[in-house]
């Protein structure tokens, strides 16, 4: 996968792309990153990328020309048939694990990160394929949101994680929150690991994990249960969980 990022603050991404899973993914040649300062595409000698909004109002608006020209250049040199051009925007669709899985199937992603009051509407109308919001709040720019999306997408690429099962069992990948995890020692300050996890009985362990996943989802995010179809066994467990004291 190829990932391009358009930002007037490209230095913000050096630490993110240069560490942990994102760095290892590039070393494994699963992905390549490039951060482009779209100020370099401005057609004026002062490299101005924003201007006052028509009709008045507070703040500045990003001009269409630098972003149009930057995206045109990246698309022209892309090996992908049609790159996805993602606008980070609080007005966009709420980001989900399902969206991450969808984007992870693409060959080329272009992220547009803006600042100031907003974008010229023609950017949205003519070059953007996806508008994404990571939550119902406003950030000073799209960079942090793009980092979140890129991290969640790259970890899904084949060969990036140590185990392919890692992301399959993640919270939200199955529609449920993930079950609790434990590691050594089996007892710590009087707190013991559930006996089933040390039993060696893989069928019982799998059942325990699924039931605890249901329990955690019901207590923390019951809204998620409205969107998934439970098996008969899961429905039985859920009824038992509902009857238990909190």
Integer-rounded Cα Rg, in Å, for the chain is 23
Cα separation, 28 vs 231, whole angstroms: 38
- Whether 168 has a pLDDT exceeding 70, the answer reads no
- Whether 166 has a pLDDT exceeding 80, the answer reads no
What does the pLDDT read at residue 201? 97
Cα separation, 25 vs 77, whole angstroms: 22
230's tokens? 């439970």
Would you place residue 242 in the very low, low, confident or very high pLDDT band (cuts 50, 70, 90)? very high
Would you place residue 164 in the very low, low, confident or very high pLDDT band (cuts 50, 70, 90)? low
Give the model confidence (pLDDT) of 173-211 as tens digits: 688 999 999 999 999 999 999 999 999 999 999 999 999
- Cβ atoms of residues 38 and 67 within 8 Å: yes
State the alpha helices, DSSP H only, in 121-161.
Answer: 121-126, 143-154
Q: Same structural domain for residues 175 and 139?
A: no
Lowest model confidence (mean pLDDT) among 4-13, 21-30, 113-122, 170-179: 170-179
Cα separation, 170 vs 182, whole angstroms: 15
Q: Same structural domain for residues 177 and 234?
A: yes
What does the pLDDT read at residue 170? 60
Catalytic residues: 90, 117, 155, 170
Q: Same structural domain for residues 90 and 194?
A: no
217's tokens? 């989802």
What domain range includes position 227?
169-243
- Domain membership of residue 114 (yes or no) is yes
Half-sphere exposure of 81 (CA within 13 A, CB side): 1
Q: Same structural domain for residues 222 and 114?
A: no
CATH number at residue 10: 3.40.1280.10
Q: Same structural domain for residues 131 and 196?
A: no
145's tokens? 């949101």
Would you place residue 225 in the very low, low, confident or very high pLDDT band (cuts 50, 70, 90)? very high
Q: Same structural domain for residues 126 and 206?
A: no
**Torsion angles phi and psi, residue 30, rounded to 5:** -80, -20
E-assigned strand segments in the chain = 2-6, 32-36, 50-51, 61-62, 84-94, 108-112, 118-119, 130-133, 187-188, 191-192
- Cβ atoms of residues 114 and 88 within 8 Å: yes
Q: Same structural domain for residues 121 and 31?
A: yes
Give the model confidence (pLDDT) of 112-159 as tens digits: 998 877 899 999 999 999 999 999 999 999 999 999 999 999 999 999
């Amino acid at each position: 996968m190829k990932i391009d990022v358009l930002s007037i603050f490209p230095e913000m991404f050096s630490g993110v792309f240069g560490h942990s899973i994102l760095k290892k993914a590039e070393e494994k040649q699963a992905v390549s990153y490039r951060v482009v300062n779209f100020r370099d595409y401005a057609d004026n000698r002062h490299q101005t990328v924003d201007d006052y909004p028509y009709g008045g109002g507070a703040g500045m608006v990003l001009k269409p020309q630098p972003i149009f020209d930057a995206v045109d250049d990246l698309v022209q040199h892309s090996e992908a048939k049609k790159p996805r051009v993602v606008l980070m925007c609080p007005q966009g669709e709420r980001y989900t694990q399902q969206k991450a899985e969808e984007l992870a199937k693409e060959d080329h992603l272009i992220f547009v990160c803006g600042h100031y009051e907003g974008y010229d509407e023609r950017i949205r109308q003519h070059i953007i394929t996806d508008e994404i919001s990571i939550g119902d709040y406003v950030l000073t720019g799209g960079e942090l949101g793009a980092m979140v999306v890129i991290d969640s997408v790259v970890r899904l690429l084949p060969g990036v994680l140590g185990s392919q099962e890692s992301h399959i069992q993640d919270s939200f990948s199955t529609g449920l929150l993930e079950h609790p995890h434990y590691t050594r020692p089996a007892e710590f300050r009087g707190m013991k690991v559930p006996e089933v996890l040390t039993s060696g009985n893989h069928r019982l362990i799998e059942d325990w994990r699924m039931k605890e996943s249901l329990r955690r989802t019901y207590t923390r995010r019951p809204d998620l249960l409205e969107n998934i179809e439970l098996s008969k066994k899961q429905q039985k467990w859920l009824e038992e969980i509902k009857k238990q004291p909190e």
